[in-house]
Amino acid sequence: MKIVEVRPYALNVGGRNHCLVKVALDSGAVGWGEAGLSHKERAVGAMVDVLRPLFEGRDPRRRGALWQEAYRAGYFEGDRSLSAALSAVDIALHDALGRELGVPVYELLGGAHRERVPVFPTIGSLDPAEALEGAVRLADDGWSVIRLMCVNPSEDDGVFEPLESVYRTAALVRELRARIDPAVAIGVEFHHRLSVAEAIAFGEAVPRGALAFLEEPIRAESPAAYGALRDRVGIPLAVGEEFISKWQFAQFFDAGVIDYARVDVANAGGFTESMKIAAMAEARYVDVMPHNPLGTIGTAATAHFALAVPNLSWIEYRGLPGDTLFPDDPVALTTTHRLEGQMLAVSDAPGLGVDVAEARLNETLEPQVIPRLVRRDGSYTNW
C-alpha cells in the first residue's frame, strides 16, 4: 500500500476560503483533510507542496513515523504553516486508510468512548442587546451550554477598546444569568484581545460562578502570564486553540493554567498529534474542548477525534442558531453526520464520512483582507 498523490486545494467553499488536501493511495482510495490556518491558505498549500516528496511513495499505515519525519525534516522544526499543512495531510491519511479498510476514522483512533458528540452554539453578535436576546432564545430552546463572544460596543468598524468590551460583556453575563436557568453553562470567548490586567478586571466584574469557562482571554505565548491571571480570576480557563504541538501544550499543562484544552485537530498536527495532547490532558484531569471554526471536513475530523477521547467536554459546532459563520457548499461537500438535538451523531461510514466532488472544486480564492482591529488612538490590537 502506497501514497501516490498529495495535492492541496486552496479555494473558496460556501463563502469562506479553505485549504483542503487530497491524499490518494495506489488502491484507489482517496482521503481528504483540511488545514486550520485561516487567511493564509495559499501559504499552507505551498507548504503541502514542500512536504509532498516526503509522503508520496510511502506506506500510509506508518502515519506516526511520517508525522515525525515531516515535522523534523529540514532542521527548522514546526511552524504554523508546516503544522497546518501536516495536520491536513494527517487527517487525509486517516480518511484514506479508513476508506481502504472500510472503517470510520474513530476506529483507527482506538474506538468510540461515546455514542454521540455534545456540541454548543455560539452567539456571534457583538451587539450586547442582540447577544442577550439570542442567548435567551437558545436557553429557552433547551441548549445547556451557550458561548458568547466578547461584545464590542464601539460604533466604529474595526475599532476595539478592551475595557469597554470587558464591562459591557460582564454586564451581558449578569443579565443573561438572571434570565435563564442557573443550570445552563455560559462561556465567554475574548479571542486573546485582553491584557492580564483587563482580564482580571473582567473576572472581578462578573459574579463568581456565573461562567463555566473563559476562553482565550489573553495571548497564549506565556504560561507565566496565564499563571498571573489564574491567581486572580476564579473562572475555568479554556486555552490552546493557537497551539500547534504537544510541546506548546506541555508548557501550559505543567504550569497548571489550562482547565479546558482547546485542541484544534486541523492546526495541532492532525489526529496523530491531537490524540497525544488529549492523553496529556487526561493525565492532568483536564477535559478537551476542541476548537472547530472550519468547514465540513474539519468538523468531521473534530467529531471523530471527540468520539475517540475519554476526556471530552463539548465541541463548538458551525451552523447552529446564532452562528454567523458561512455554511459549506452542499454541492461540492456532503456529510453523513447529522445533528440530533444538542448532539452530533457521527456515522459509521468509512473514513471521515465526507464525500468531496473533486471535479466541482474551484481553485479560486475570494479576495479576503486579513482581519485586524485598532484602538481609537490608532494603535493596533489583537484580532
User: According to the model, what pLDDT value does residue 155 have?
Assistant: 67
- Which is catalytic among the residues 18, 291, 304, 337? 291
Location of C-alpha cell 479555494 = 11
The CA dihedral of 23, 240, 365, 70, to the nearest 10 degrees, is -40
pLDDT less than 70: residues of the chain: 14, 155, 319-332
User: According to the model, what pLDDT value does residue 326 have?
Assistant: 42
User: According to the model, what pLDDT value does residue 329 have?
Assistant: 57
> Is 191 a residue of the active site?
yes
User: According to the model, what pLDDT value does residue 185 have?
Assistant: 98
- Three-class secondary structure of residue 21 per DSSP: strand
Of 72, 10, 77, nearest to 42 by C-alpha is 10
pTM comes to: 0.95
The DSSP element (H or E) to which 198 belongs, if any, is helix 196-205
User: According to the model, what pLDDT value does residue 362 have?
Assistant: 74
User: According to the model, what pLDDT value does residue 167 have?
Assistant: 97
Q: What are the tens digits of pLDDT across the range 98-127?
A: 999 999 999 999 999 999 999 999 998 889
User: According to the model, what pLDDT value does residue 324 have?
Assistant: 45
> Is 337 a residue of the active site?
no
Q: Tell me 65's DSSP state.
A: H
The DSSP line for 92-121 is: HHHHHHHHHHTSBHHHHTT--SSSSEEEE-
Please check whether residue 138 is in contact with residue 121, taking contact to mean a CB–CB distance below 8 angstroms: yes
CA distance 299 to 335: 10
- Which is catalytic among the residues 191, 192, 304, 337? 191
Task: Judge: domain 108-351, CATH 3.30.750.24.
Answer: no
Please check whether residue 40 is in contact with residue 78, taking contact to mean a CB–CB distance below 8 angstroms: no
CA distance 23 to 3: 7
CA distances 201 to 149, 191, 229, Å, are 17, 16, 10
- Provide the CATH number for the domain formed by 3-104 in this structure: 3.30.390.10
Q: Tell me 191's DSSP state.
A: T
User: According to the model, what pLDDT value does residue 328 have?
Assistant: 53
Of 283, 278, 276, nearest to 256 by C-alpha is 283
Residue extents of the structural domains in the chain:
3-104, 108-351
